[in-house]
Amino acid sequence: MLRLLDLFFTGLHLVIICFNLFGWLWPRYRKWHFLLVLATAASWLLLGLWFGLGYCPITDWQWQVKTKLGERNLPNSFIKYYADWLTGLDFNPALVDTWTAILFGVAALLSVYFNFIQPKIEKGST
């Protein structure tokens, strides 16, 4: 059961990460993308005030499962964990966090643009 839960959290993480990065591409999902970006930022920043900057409850829950499965020395970041696992390398955590923040910031700005700025531009040109 724990292995299934671990797979569930991995899938959930990957879906959230991919949608955070690329959800702005599809007009139909742009409002949902903006809401997920807000939720992610709130987790990282607001919950981060209590649990540490970049806090993700899904990572917290998954790490609890992985600990019960016997994994030790888990990094703070799911993205670092998964990048290490995929490549067999040991990425610098600060580098991973920096690139995560940069790519998230770009996706967040694109979400703001497509949800709020572009519609005003299009409305003004008609």
pTM score of the predicted model: 0.94
Residue-level pLDDT at 89:
98
Residue-level pLDDT at 124:
82
Are 5 and 65 spatial neighbours (Cβ–Cβ below 8 Å)?
yes
Using left for φ > 0, alpha for ψ between -120 and 50, and beta otherwise, residue 77 falls in beta
Name the residue among 9, 8, 32 with its Cα closest to residue 20.
32
- What are the domain boundaries of the chain? 2-124
Residue 53 vs residues 31, 41, 79: alpha-carbon distances, Å: 25, 10, 15
Q: Return mean pLDDT, the chain.
A: 97
Give 3-state DSSP helix, strand, coil % of the chain, rounded to 5. 80, 0, 20
Q: What is the pLDDT of residues 11-56, one digit of tens each?
A: 999 999 999 999 999 999 999 999 999 999 999 999 999 999 999 9
Residue 1 vs residues 8, 67, 82: alpha-carbon distances, Å: 11, 14, 21
Q: What is the pLDDT of residues 87-96, one digit of tens each?
A: 999 999 999 9
